[in-house]
Every structure is written in structure tokens, then in C-alpha cells.
Structure 1
Amino acid sequence: MADFLKLDVRGFLPPQVLGFVHKCAREGVKIYMAGGTIRDMILGREVKDIDLTVSRDALALAQNFAETVHGTFILLDDVEKVARVVFEGYQIDFAEFRKGSQTLEEDLRLRDLTINALAVCFADDKREVPLTLIDPVGGHADIEDRLIRFITGQGIIDDPLRMLRAYRFAATLDFKIDPASREMIRRYGALIKNTSVERIAYELNALFGAKNSYPALRWMAEDGLFPTICPEIEDMCGVQQYGYHHLDVYGHSFLTLYYIEKIEANPADYFPDKYKGEIEDYLQHDAKSVLLKWAALFHDIGKPKTAEEGGEKFTFYNHDQVGAAIFANFARRLKWSHKHLEFVEKLICLHMRPFHLVNILRSGEVTPRALGRLIRETGDELTGLFVLAMADSLAGLGPAKPDDCEALLVQLFETTLTFYKEKVKPLLTRPRLITGHDLINIFHLEPGPFFKVLMEELEDAQVEGRVNTRGEALDWVTARLKEDKCSPHRKGAKCAKEDLE
């Protein structure tokens, strides 16, 4: 962390911005750089978002700057006079003093956190003149102490989302939250219900996007804010598991999230080094790193609803299916995109599958059909499923857990990936041996769900090496259709519901 007195603040700014603020100062406009920009400079972080606060004419200045640098002007708030200019990878926000403030200090005291209430004033263009830090609420000291602190409780009342932002900043900056501020959250937590779900979802995903979100999420749960947003989380408290597990469902779910972050930080600590690049590439696409954390936290959310006690053990039959439905309801409440909802839902639904196959692997060999089914059901998320399974396994240290769980998961991952690359992927790059038109024209079948079943079974036969040519495929379908249960799918015949299952 840099000493502000030794910090070359002007050196952080692109020349276009520095020239413009000096021009404004010469023309009598009080212009300040404020907020998170100063915080990030002190912390030595890359600065791409620059917040400028001006005494007047923010929108006109933003328009003028956009024209000067050939950037894009975006109006953010016509009432509060806030606009953004985007150019060359930078975001420059222009804003007037907020909520009728007459001075910058009044403006800074209305902000959310002390670490975001810092500013410098550009009074002239003399580079040799040091800039003075304006710090009315002790933000610089809190940065030195790595502490998140609210300025006032009224700030939370004015915008309850600030509570979520506190945890998000704690996670992204690796700070702790001031105890008095956590007490404010416990007092005002119910107010989060007055915030739009879109804003809540954005902040939650930003929090989950931090490399080390686990501590902040635990604090948020302890302070009651997480259960207020997602009551289902609290249902897991006190639900005992025993067997493979040493924690209740609640503790185990958070520990699984902890291990997801450990695996994402260094996959080679948990999987063979040759897969490190493959796993890292997978995690970099389409928010999969964030979505895997959601899957980890919710993977056992169905257990409270399915728990049954039998003697000295508990069972949770179908908790994966029930849990996927519970998560889907939560995601719809927060108006998640359908794509992201389906991703997490799928992983929750399938999270037990690797463990079932590990049990088979422990006593023998997993069949090509079972591997093919796993690949078909996971689709592009095979790597994600095994990352989740590894975190789930590491988070269980119960007395009944075999010592070879993680080693067998790695073996199964390697076996499945090799099987996909050598057997399944080549099939996907070649034309099908037979098509749906063949099923209609040659075998006189009615189009319907049975087509998918038949084509998947044919694919299994190809993967197993039992079918290699079009002639063999036609013979296979002929033999398959001789089975009595397939006859209803002929044209003109009525199909019973059980025939489609």
C-alpha cells in the first residue's frame, strides 16, 4: 500500500483526463477526483474507473470531454447529474455534488463507506505542487487498517444495498468489516427487502466473483443478511449427516464453497498438472467460476426437505433433484438469466453422479455405457461437475468416508475425459450413421420422444464398438425394434406413456 504523500496521483491518469481536469481548473470549475479511484490508487490497484466530482455542469463537461477524446457519452442519472464517458478502456464518471450538497466534504459524508469518501482537488496544472488528500471521515486510516466501515447508519437507511456492498468490498479487497458496522447490518438487515432484486443479484454475483469470497459470505450469513435474501440457506442449519460428513449440511455447504475457491486458485493442487490449463480455460468462460460457487453453496439445499432418520444414519433420497428445484426458484426470484440458472441447476442435479461411479470404480470398472451417459448428461460442463465433486469430497471428513475418495475422483475424471476424447468426440465430428428421416422412411416410425432414446442408445452402441457402419446401424435398429416395447412407435400405433420413459 502506497503512502499518499509519496503517491504520484497525476501519474495514474491518462494524459487526456489530466489535461482536461487542468483545463477545467483554469476555467474556474472546482473539479475533484474522488471515491474508489483514490482508494484504489492508495492500494496500488490498477485504475480504469475514474470518478470526477465537479461543482457544476457535470453533464455538459462530460459531453465536452467525450467529444474531445472521441469517446462514448452515457447519461446515468439526469436528476443527480451523473454521466459516464468510455474511451480506450477507461470509464470516466462525472457527477455534481450529491443530494444538494454545497461542498465536497458534505458530498463525501453522504457516501457509503469511509474508504470511498476520499478526494483530491485539481486546483492548477503545476505538477510539482502536491495534491492534498481530502479525508473528512478517516477513510485513509481505515485503508491502512484494512477495514470496511459505514459512515453513518442513515446511509444504510437511504440505500440498503450498501450493506451488500460492504461484504463485496470486504471480499474484493480482502478487508475485514468493522464490528460496529456489522451490528448496523444486523439492525437494518430487513431493509434489504426494499431493494430491487436486480440490484441485489448484481452485488451478490460481484461478491461471488471475488477470488476469496468465503469469509465475507460467512459473515453475511452470521449477520442475518444472507438468510434475509435467501431463507433457504438457513434451512440447512442443524441438519445432521454423519457418515461421510463431519459437519451439518449448512457447515458442509460453506466448506464446499471454500474448497471451490481453493481449487479455482490452483487446480494443480487437486488434479494432475496436465489438466491445469484445461480447468483454468473452463473457469474463464461465461462466469463459470462464479456459477460453480453458487452450485457449491446450494448443492445440498435439498437435504432439509428430504431428510429421513433411520437408526443411526440419515438418508436424503433425491435431494439432488429437490435441491435443483429449490435453487431454480431462488434464481428466478433474483431474475437470473435462464442460461445461468440452467447451469447451476444442472450441476446440483448431477452432483452425486461422480460419487455413484466412484463406488463402482472402487470395486471394478465403469462401463463405456455409464461413461457415455455421464458425458451426454453433463454436456460442456463435465469439467465443472468434477471440480464441484472434488470440493464436495474435500469438505467431508466423516468417519465413514474412505481414504481414496479424492484419488478415485481424479481417476474417474481422467478416464471420462480420455473416453470423451477418444470415443465420443470423433462421433460428434462425423455424419450420423442414420438420421431421424431414416427412422421415418425406412422403419416407418412416428416422430416423438422415442427418437431421442433410440439415437442415444445407438450412440452407446457405437461408443462400445458394437456398431461401426451404416449397415450395422440399420441392423441394430431392426433388432431393437423387434423388442415388444418398441412396437407401439410404428406409424399408426398408439404409444403408451411408459414406452417413452
Structure 2
Amino acid sequence: MNYATFLEKNKIFAQISESAESLGLETYVIGGFVRDIFLKRPSKDIDVVCVGSGIKLAREVAKRLGDAKVTVFKNFGTAMINAGEWEVEFVGARRESYNRDSRKPIVEDGTLQDDQNRRDFTINAMALSLNKENFGDLIDPFDGMEDLRDMTMKTPLDPGITFSDDPLRMMRAIRFASQLSFDIEPDTFAAISENTHRIRIVSKERIADELNKIILSKTPSYGFKLLFHSGLLKEIFPEMTNLHGVEVRNGKRHKDNFFHTLQVLDNVSEVSDDLWLRWAAILHDIAKPQTKRFHPKAGWTFHGHEDLGGRMVPKIFRKMKLPLNDNMKFVQKLVRLHLRPIALVKETITDSALRRLLFEAGDDLESLMKLCRADITSKNDKKVKQYLSNFDEVERKLEDVEARDQVRNFQPPVTGEQIMEFFDLKPSRTVGEIKDAIKDAVLEGRIRNDHEEAWALMKELGLEKGLTPKSE
């Protein structure tokens, strides 16, 4: 098959072809760009392979583009050019071999066939010729087109060797399957299951990068089920596999918290592309195995799993090399608060409880409510409608309280510096206690969120502690 008509739509391919012709280099566009042509997916990254020096070819193309900037990576033998909206990477065709304890390959110059042999999957091994004599011809030695039509992930060569050599390819197989809604060919999936232990030689950062891409796919539960059934999830994220299973005692059973979590994740994914909100969905019940208890009358309980889960978040992020920044704090906050809104449905709930949730959730209240709604996974439609209706009522109450008291993200009306100045104090526990007491008074409605009322309370609290004002 020939795709010259498609390539001719983009002048960059003609310029690469002319440059290769002038240098006498056999040249092809290969990999993801070719795959995405047939999947009709947008792609701005172009991988070009030539039999010879990719760096030399890049510099020649840059001249034809008007001295475009060439970024050279000598250690990898590659070069990059930004050509308008396109990012083009050039590399010389190569063959690779591996040492047992490293996924870093030993690289030698090779042919196009060698280069296609080293590719991770058949759908990523297809190439289109940029050579004058057969411009646009498809070179597809492993029937990648057939696998695209069959929506199947398969390795070009023996999958056991492919995954043992570079274990990150196991994560990539599942990531592509999740992103594209593809199946993984049985022998290829079996090879993943047989090589899960090899993932231990891959850096946590690279694993997290692939996992995040799975989480961001349209239906992330599919990727997680593949990770789980292959055994990879137990290697990279055992805390999540610990959620799996159902225990029955005295005829009472609890739900499978692993599959419940996946449903919550999918529910969140339907309403948000936020990676960290999706992580909150993944971790919202992460402490249930540690808090599970059975009571003859009450049945199964998981009291305190939200607080323990919140404490587990930083440890999990640190271990998985996820960022220990505001994104982690956001996830931690939502895990800790995810049960609070449903408790606010009762008619007798106080404005104080509503103020505290507004204060603690702050700007993340909308995200928290999305998570809470997603957490309703009952198969009983009537029950689901009732819960969602309850959340509507909670949101109405929160809006009413915020309109009256404006405590969302509020700062205490009296600062610690003002307390120290008034009572001539140095930073101390006493200052913190007075400041917290003023904050609690506002949240409990004993005083308004007002400087004058807060100042009067500060004086009163100071006198109770035996403090003497420096001045009025």
C-alpha cells in the first residue's frame, strides 16, 4: 500500500525526503505517527529513522527549513527539530541487545529491519518510506495493520524476550490497550504475567509516568484490570491489590473494595480529566483493609478509614515517586474528607458542621462533591437517586451557610502577629491556642467572621490565661 498522497499534505516530509536524497540516506517515518494515521488520532510527534546518521540528516533538514534549531543528544545518537507545530526526532537505524540487570540497551548501527525488530509492538513497527523511488510505501513486516484492524496489542518478536529485555514495555502494552481500547494478544499477555518480577529493574518514575497515562485514559478501570490480572499491579501498587476480595461471616459480606474503587474511578473520569482527582478516587478507600472489623450485630465496618487513608497518601506518593507538592495535599484532603458530605444530610445537622466542611474543603469543595457523587456505586437505581438527591440538599445547605457567613477559605480575623504584639509575646503554643480558639468561635457561630468581635474575644481569652496587654 502507498500513502504518498497523505505525506504530500505536509511539506516537512518532502523536505526530509530531499535532504535524505542529497545525503544518500535510506529514510523512513516510523512508529507512533504512522500508527496514528490509521487510527485517525491527532499526532504532532514525528519519528524519522535513517540507515546512517540521524544527526547528520537533522542538520541537513534544518538548513532547508531556514536554519531551524537542531537539538542534538549525542549520547543517544538522536536529534530533534521543532518545525512549526511539528516536533521531528531523527535517529539512525539500530539493533539492540540487553544485559539481564538493565533495561538500557547495547546499541549498534543496523538496518531498517533491525530497527523494526527492536520496536515494542507491531502497531508501532510500521514505517512509511521517504525515499524517492518508493515514497509513501508502507513497510509492515509484522502485519501491524492487521493488528490495528483487530484492535490487538502484540509484540513483533518473542514477547517473553521483549518484556524481559525491557520490562517497561509491559506497562506500555497495558497503557496502549487502555488508551486505545485494544485487547492484548493471549501469548503477549501470558508473557507479561510470566515477567512481572522484571518490573523491579525499572525506575519508579518511569512506572509512575505510564500508570498516570493509564489513569488518564477514557475508561481507566480497563487498564487497572489488566494490571491486576497480569500480576503487575501487585508489584507496583500492592496497597491497591489489598483492596481485592470479599469476606463472609455469619452470612454477612462486604463489597469488593477493589472493584468498587475502579467503578468510582470510572465515575470520576466521566466528569473530570483531572489526574489528581482521579488519584483521589483510587485512594479514597485505600485504608479499608487495615480498618476492617466484624461486629455480630453491625456486620462489617471500616471506621476511620478516611483518616488513616489520608495519612497513607504521602507515604504512597513518596514510594511511587509521585510529586510531594500541592497535588499530593489535594489528594490527601479529598481522601480525608470524602465521607463528610453524606453525614451532613440529616435535618439536625448544625451550621457549625457545615462551616467546618466549607473551611476545610475550601476551593476544593466542588472536586470533593464530584468524588462523593462518584462514590455511589449501588446497583439499586432507587438508592442511587436518593443518595444523589441527598448530595443536592447538602450542596444547597453549604451554599446557604457560605452566603451568610463567608467562611470558605477564610483567614482568622486576628493574626498570630497581632496576638503577639498585643500581649507582648514571642511565638509560642499560647499564641496558637488563642488563634485556634478564635477560629473555632467563628466556625461554631459564637462570633461573626468580623475583626471587632474577634478582637474582643482575643482580649477575653488572654485575660483567662493571665496575660497582660502591652497596650490598648
TM range (shorter): 0.7 to 0.9
- Tell whether the 8 Å contact from 1:241 to 1:248 is kept in structure 2 after alignment: no
- Tell whether the 8 Å contact from 1:252 to 1:396 is kept in structure 2 after alignment: no
Which 10-residue stretch deviates more, 57-66 or 24-33? 57-66
Q: TM-score, normalised by structure 2?
A: 0.85
Q: CA distance change for structure 1 residues 440 and 250 in 2, over 3 Å: closer, same or farther?
A: same
Given the alignment, which residue of 237, 258, 282 partners 1:297? 282
Letter in 1 for 2:148: I
- In the TM superposition, 1:304-383 aligns within 5 A as 304-312=289-297, 313-339=299-325, 340-357=327-344, 361-367=345-351, 369-383=352-366
Q: Which residue of 1 aligns with 2:6?
A: 9
CA offsets 1:225-258 (integer angstroms, 9 cap, x no match): 1111111122112254999997222221122112
- The 3-state SS of whatever aligns with 1:95 is strand
Q: CA distance change for structure 1 residues 316 and 70 in 2, over 3 Å: closer, same or farther?
A: farther
Q: CA distance change for structure 1 residues 75 and 381 in 2, over 3 Å: closer, same or farther?
A: farther
Task: Give me the whole-angstrom Cα distance separating, in 2, the residues matched to 1:57 and 1:468.
Answer: 69
Letter in 2 for 1:9: F
Q: CA distance change for structure 1 residues 326 and 74 in 2, over 3 Å: closer, same or farther?
A: farther
Which 10-residue stretch deviates more, 437-446 or 28-37? 437-446
1:211 positional shift: 2.1
- Tell whether the 8 Å contact from 1:257 to 1:391 is kept in structure 2 after alignment: yes
Q: Which residue of 1 aligns with 2:415?
A: 435
Question: Any stretches of 5+ residues in structure 2 without a counterpart?
Answer: 96-107
Q: Which residue of 2 aligns with 1:276?
A: none
Task: Give me the whole-angstrom Cα distance separating, in 2, the residues matched to 1:241 and 1:256.
Answer: 23
Task: Give me the whole-angstrom Cα distance separating, in 1, the residues matched to 2:189 and 2:382.
Answer: 39
- In the TM superposition, 1:172-321 aligns within 5 A as 172-240=179-247, 247-264=255-272, 289-312=274-297, 313-321=299-307
Q: CA distance change for structure 1 residues 355 and 381 in 2, over 3 Å: closer, same or farther?
A: same
Q: What is the root-mean-square deviation in Å for CA atoms of aligned residues?
A: 3.3
Q: Tell me, yes or no, if structure 1 residue 404 matches structure 2 residue 409.
A: no
Task: Give me the whole-angstrom Cα distance separating, in 2, the residues matched to 1:262 and 1:240.
Answer: 30
1:300 positional shift: 1.0
Q: CA distance change for structure 1 residues 435 and 113 in 2, over 3 Å: closer, same or farther?
A: same
Task: Give me the whole-angstrom Cα distance separating, in 1, the residues matched to 2:260 and 2:463.
Answer: 50
Given the alignment, which residue of 86, 99, 121 partners 2:129? 121
Task: Give me the whole-angstrom Cα distance separating, in 2, the residues matched to 1:121 and 1:305.
Answer: 57
- Tell whether the 8 Å contact from 1:298 to 1:323 is kept in structure 2 after alignment: yes
Task: Give me the whole-angstrom Cα distance separating, in 2, the residues matched to 1:245 and 1:403.
Answer: 24
Q: TM-score, normalised by structure 1?
A: 0.80
CA offsets 1:423-458 (integer angstroms, 9 cap, x no match): 427985xx9753333312324555345545644554
CA offsets 1:19-50 (integer angstroms, 9 cap, x no match): 23323224321110001110001111112000
- Tell whether the 8 Å contact from 1:12 to 1:41 is kept in structure 2 after alignment: no
Q: Which residue of 1 aligns with 2:104?
A: none
Task: Give me the whole-angstrom Cα distance separating, in 2, the residues matched to 1:241 and 1:453.
Answer: 47
- Tell whether the 8 Å contact from 2:317 to 2:328 is kept in structure 1 after alignment: yes
Q: Which residue of 1 aligns with 2:89?
A: 93
1:132 positional shift: 1.2
Question: Any stretches of 5+ residues in structure 1 without a counterpart?
Answer: 265-282, 284-288, 493-501
Q: Which residue of 2 aligns with 1:62?
A: 58
Task: Give me the whole-angstrom Cα distance separating, in 2, the residues matched to 1:236 and 1:457.
Answer: 40
Task: Give me the whole-angstrom Cα distance separating, in 2, the residues matched to 1:93 and 1:6.
Answer: 21
Q: CA distance change for structure 1 residues 436 and 147 in 2, over 3 Å: closer, same or farther?
A: same
CA offsets 1:141-167 (integer angstroms, 9 cap, x no match): 111111111222221111100000011
Q: Which residue of 1 aligns with 2:102?
A: none
Q: Tell me, yes or no, if structure 1 residue 110 matches structure 2 residue 92.
A: no
Which 10-residue stretch deviates more, 315-324 or 413-422? 413-422
Kindly, what percent of the aligned residue pairs are identical? 27
Task: Give me the whole-angstrom Cα distance separating, in 2, the residues matched to 1:140 and 1:386.
Answer: 44
- The 3-state SS of whatever aligns with 2:406 is helix
1:212 positional shift: 2.0
